[in-house]
Amino acid sequence: MDDLTEVIASLVARRLKDGAAPAGIDPDAPLSGLGLDSIAVVSLMVELERRRGVTLPAELVNRATFRSVRTLTEAVRRAESAAGRLP
């Protein structure tokens, strides 16, 4: 996993009730299947935006973005790129 994927996996793992380790999270596993409910997803988004210094645009705040660690990572990269934070 790259650095951003690891950060997101770590944030997801902190919200899981089973105490899963970030390295044990499949980046393609559905977040809902891991046990994240809508409140946990909103909490994840708020913390991720704060830590990364970007705001996910409204068009990215949807089920497809929060389907998995990988889809969320891609959305954060797009938001960072749009904000001029990536090359």
Q: Which amino acid is at 28?
A: D
pLDDT confidence of residue 18: 82
Dihedral of the alpha carbons of 7, 49, 68, 41, in degrees to the nearest 10: 110
Query: Does the reported pTM lie above 0.75?
Result: yes
Structural domains of the chain ordered from first start = 3-82 (1.10.1200.10)
Residue 77's nearest CA partner among 57, 67, 47 is 57
| Count of all residues that appear for the chain in the document | 87
Cα dihedral 35/81/61/4 (nearest 10): 10
**How does residue 84 score in pLDDT terms, banded at 50, 70 and 90?**
confident
The tens digit of pLDDT for each residue in 9-66 reads 999 999 998 878 999 999 999 999 999 999 999 999 999 999 999 999 999 999 999 9
Whose structure tokens read 């904000």? 83
Report residue 87's pLDDT band, with 50, 70 and 90 as the boundaries. Answer: low
